[in-house]
Amino acid sequence: MSAETPLVRRAVRTGGVFLAVAAAQFVVVALLVANHYPGFGLWTGSATALGSSSSPWALVFNASLIALGVLAILGLLFSWSAFDERPSRGVGLFALLLASVAVVCFGAFGALSSHLPTGAVPLASYVAIGAAGVGLLVVASAMHRHERWRVSRAYTFATGLVVLGGLVLFFVHLSGFTPGAVERVAVAAALLWAVVEGLHIALLHRFAPGLQVKVATA
């Protein structure tokens, strides 16, 4: 019996870099912008407030959101073949792509908030979080190959639960949970996944023409 080698193309590793950079740049920019809003609480304030104001920093925040979505789309498309060829791969990654498109809309809607209905920006954020949670739960089953994914499958599934759970708590308003804090936990979990798994994908063994690989037989 042959053991399949977990090699990937250069584009896959590039996709991993895009995912990690997408999340990292947004975290840095969000913290920077939040510091320029006196009295804004990282765990209580609404993220939509950062991008919907008339401050020039709102444009920076929205541009970072758009960059997050665009880089995530590229990262997912480039790293597509790293995931196991199962039906769940297409469904899960499509949901993550939908979440990334919603993030782009979130940033664009924030920049154009004065010309759009009041609920457009929050709706984009809900779609982004919900689709990301579903996508992570489903794509976890396309991380079956142990020699490539190891603990990634369980970590991805757990992250999906946290993201979806945060969205549910945001809407039910349970006592003891502030909407801002719940939203931050869900978003932070999704961003952390993009950094961790992005770096993991970026470090996968790359296929090189002419590389001799020994395959175990039994």
| pLDDT beneath 50, residues of the chain | 1-3, 5, 208-216, 218
Q: How far apart are CA 91 and CA 20, in angstroms?
A: 22
Q: How far apart are CA 187 and CA 30, in angstroms?
A: 12
Q: What is the pLDDT of residues 34-47, one digit of tens each?
A: 887 776 666 666 66
Q: What is the per-residue pLDDT for 2?
A: 37
Q: How far apart are CA 148 and CA 13, in angstroms?
A: 13
DSSP SS3 for 176: coil
Q: What is the pLDDT of residues 120-144, one digit of tens each?
A: 888 898 999 999 999 999 999 999 8
Q: Token pair for residue 172? A: 């039910």
> Percent of the chain at pLDDT above 90?
45
Cβ atoms of 59 and 105 within 8 Å: the answer is no
Q: Report the candidate in 58, 36, 69, 37 with the shortest Cα–Cα distance to residue 110.
A: 58
Question: Judging by beta carbons within 10 Å of its beta carbon (0-12, 13-18, 19+), is residue 3 exposed, middle or buried?
Answer: exposed
Q: What is the per-residue pLDDT for 179?
A: 57
- Between vectors from CA 213 to CA 207 and to CA 218, what angle results, nearest 5°? 130
Q: What is the per-residue pLDDT for 21?
A: 98
Q: How far apart are CA 136 and CA 164, in angstroms?
A: 10
Q: Token pair for residue 195? A: 């950094």
The answer, as to whether pTM is greater than 0.75, is: yes
Q: What is the per-residue pLDDT for 160?
A: 96
Q: What is the pLDDT of residues 69-80, one digit of tens each?
A: 999 999 999 999
* Cβ neighbours of residue 87 closer than 8 Å, sequence gap 6 or more: none
DSSP SS3 for 206: strand
Q: At what angle do helices 56-78 and 87-111 cross, to 10 degrees?
A: 160
Q: Which helix (H) or strand (E) holds 52?
A: helix 47-52
- Single-letter code of the amino acid located at 13: R
Q: What is the per-residue pLDDT for 27?
A: 93
Tokens 């920077």 locate to 32
- What value does the mean pLDDT of the chain take? 83
Q: Which helix (H) or strand (E) holds 181?
A: helix 179-202
